[in-house]
C-alpha cells in the first residue's frame, strides 16, 4: 500500500467536499507553507492546493499562518535599522499612473523611512519598478543593500524576486492558472523590514476584512484600502474605504472623493509624467491629489492624527514645500 504524502492532509482538509472540507487553522497554514517553501511538495499538489484556496478564498487565520512561514524564509541581517513604513506594490496600474510612488517619496523626504517591495507581472500594466526607473531610482541589489539605503536615504525598493525567489516563482504561475494565487496576498502582507506600519492595497473589497483580521492576529499596525487598480493608492475621484489595525484596535473609515467629476482614463500611461509632476514641469490635478490624498492616509495612521482634514492639511503642506532635490539624491 502506498503511503500518503505528508502534504496530502492539507489538500484533503480544503477539498473534502461541501460538508467535509474546512479552512486551515493558522498552525496548519504555517506548516503547509513551510513545506511549500522547502520544496517538499509535488507540483501537482501545489497547483491543487493553490486553486482550492482560490475558490474558497483565504481566511485571516490562514493568511497569518502563511505570512509567518514566508517571513521565516526571508534571510534577515542580524541587525536592522528601524523602518517606519512598509509599502507593498504588486498589482500594477493600467488606468492611471502609479502616483503612489510620489506619495512614498514625499513622506521619505520628510524623514519617514520607507521600505517598498513589489514586482512586475505583466506588460499591460505599469509597475513600481517601471516608475522608479523613470525617476532614475534603482532597485536594491540585496536585502542588505535595501536596509542600508533605508538607513542612509530613507527609501529603498526591493524586488520580490530578491526578497523571496520561491514565492516569486509561485506568483509567476498566474498565466498558467488564469487566476491570482494566495501568494499575491501574502506578498502584500510580508512586511520584511518589520516596519512600524504597513500600507496594503487591494482590488476586491472582500479582502479588506481578511487583511485586517490577519494584521490583528499578527499583532501589527496596518492600513488596507481598496486602492486605485489594486495598489495602495487613493483614487481622488472616488470615496476610499480603509480598514486598519492600530495598537491592537480595529478601525474603519471612508475618505471622501476629492473631485466632483471623474477623470478619464490615462491612455498614454507615460511614466515620465511622474518626474514632471514632482519637479513642477507639468500640471496634473488628478496626479497631485492622488499623491496628497494617499500620503494623508499613511500620515494619519503613522502619526495617529485625529481627523482626515488634519492629515490632508499636513500632506498638502508637504507637497507645496517638497524638497525637489530629494529624488535627484536617490538617483
Alpha helices (H) in the chain, listed in sequence order: 8-15, 26-37, 43-56, 60-72, 100-108, 128-134, 143-153, 160-163, 165-171, 174-177, 182-189, 207-218, 272-278, 285-302, 308-320, 325-330
Annotate 26-78 with three-state secondary structure. Answer: HHHHHHHHHHHHCCCCCHHHHHHHHHHHHHHCCCHHHHHHHHHHHHHCCCCCC
The answer to whether residue 255 scores a pLDDT higher than 80 is yes
Could you tell me if residue 128 is inside a domain?
yes
How much is the pLDDT for 17? 83
Could you tell me if residue 71 is inside a domain?
no
**Average pLDDT, whole number, for the chain?**
95
Instruction: With CA atoms as reference, report the closest residue to 326 among 40, 15, 114, 50.
Output: 114
Residues 104, 233 within the same domain: yes
Residues 50, 106 within the same domain: no
**20 vs 98, more confident:** 98
Residues 238, 298 within the same domain: yes
Tally of structural domains, the chain? 2
Residue numbers of the domain that contains 39 = 8-56
| Core vs surface per residue 74-101: b (16+ CB within 10 A) or e | beeeeebeebbbbbbbbbbbeebbbbbb
How much is the pLDDT for 3? 87
Could you tell me if residue 78 is inside a domain?
no
Handedness of CA 107, 95, 213, 184 (dihedral sign): negative
**75 vs 87, more confident:** 87
Question: How many C-beta neighbours within 10 Å does residue 310 have?
Answer: 14
- Model confidence at 1, pLDDT cuts 50, 70, 90, reads low
- Model confidence at 250, pLDDT cuts 50, 70, 90, reads very high
How much is the pLDDT for 239? 97
| Core vs surface per residue 185-220: b (16+ CB within 10 A) or e | bbbbbbbbbebbbbbbbbeeeebbebbbbbbbbbeb
Q: Residues 137-149: pLDDT tens digits?
A: 999 999 999 999 9
Could you tell me if residue 62 is inside a domain?
no
- Average pLDDT for 221-231: 96
How much is the pLDDT for 159? 96
Residue 56's contacts (CB-CB under 8 Å, 6 or more residues apart) are 14, 21, 23
| CA dist., res. 101 & res. 114, Å (int) | 11
Percent of the chain with pLDDT over 70: 99
Q: Residues 33-68: pLDDT tens digits?
A: 999 999 999 999 999 999 999 999 999 999 999 999
How much is the pLDDT for 98? 97
How much is the pLDDT for 152? 97
- Average pLDDT for 216-232: 96
How much is the pLDDT for 275? 97
Residues 121, 28 within the same domain: no
CATH number at residue 308: 3.40.1030.10
Residues 90, 32 within the same domain: no
Residues 169, 31 within the same domain: no
- Average pLDDT for 99-113: 98
- Model confidence at 18, pLDDT cuts 50, 70, 90, reads confident
At residue 159, the 3 state secondary structure works out as strand
Amino acid at each position: 500500500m502506498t503511503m500518503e504524502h505528508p502534504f496530502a492532509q492539507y489538500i484533503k482538509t480544503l477539498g473534502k467536499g461541501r460538508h467535509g472540507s474546512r479552512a486551515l487553522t493558522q498552525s496548519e497554514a504555517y506548516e503547509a507553507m513551510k513545506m511549500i517553501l522547502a520544496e517538499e511538495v509535488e507540483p501537482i499538489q501545489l497547483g491543487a492546493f493553490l486553486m482550492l484556496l482560490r475558490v474558497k478564498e483565504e481566511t485571516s487565520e490562514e493568511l497569518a499562518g502563511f505570512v509567518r512561514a514566508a517571513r521565516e524564509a526571508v534571510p534577515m541581517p542580524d541587525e536592522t535599522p528601524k523602518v517606519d513604513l512598509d509599502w507593498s506594490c504588486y498589482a500594477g496600474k493600467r488606468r492611471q499612473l502609479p502616483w503612489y510612488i510620489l506619495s512614498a517619496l514625499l513622506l521619505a523626504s520628510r524623514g519617514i523611512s520607507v521600505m517598498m517591495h513589489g514586482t512586475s507581472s505583466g506588460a499591460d500594466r505599469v509597475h513600481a519598478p517601471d516608475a522608479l526607473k523613470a525617476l532614475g531610482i534603482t532597485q536594491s541589489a540585496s536585502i542588505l543593500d535595501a536596509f542600508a539605503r533605508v538607513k542612509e536615504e530613507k527609501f529603498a525598493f526591493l524586488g520580490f524576486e530578491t526578497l523571496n525567489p520561491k514565492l516569486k516563482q509561485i506568483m509567476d504561475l498566474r498565466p498558467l492558472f488564469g487566476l491570482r494565487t494566495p501568494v499575491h496576498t501574502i506578498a502584500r502582507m510580508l512586511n520584511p523590514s518589520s516596519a512600524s506600519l504597513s500600507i496594503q492595497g487591494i482590488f476586491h473589497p472582500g479582502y479588506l476584512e481578511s487583511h485586517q483580521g490577519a494584521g490583528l492576529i499578527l499583532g501589527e499596525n496596518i492600513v488596507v484600502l481598496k486602492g486605485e487598480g489594486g495598489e495602495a493608492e487613493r483614487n481622488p475621484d472616488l470615496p476610499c474605504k480603509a480598514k486598519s489595525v492600530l495598537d491592537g484596535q480595529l478601525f474603519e473609515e471612508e475618505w471622501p472623493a476629492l473631485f466632483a467629476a471623474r477623470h478619464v482614463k490615462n491612455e498614454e500611461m507615460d511614466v515620465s509624467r511622474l518626474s514632471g509632476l514632482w519637479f513642477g514641469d507639468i500640471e496634473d490635478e488628478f496626479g497631485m491629489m492622488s499623491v496628497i490624498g494617499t500620503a494623508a492616509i499613511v500620515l494619519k495612521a503613522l502619526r495617529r492624527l485625529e481627523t482626515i482634514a488634519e492629515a490632508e492639511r499636513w500632506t498638502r503642506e508637504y507637497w507645496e514645500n517638497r524638497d525637489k532635490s530629494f529624488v535627484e539624491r536617490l538617483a
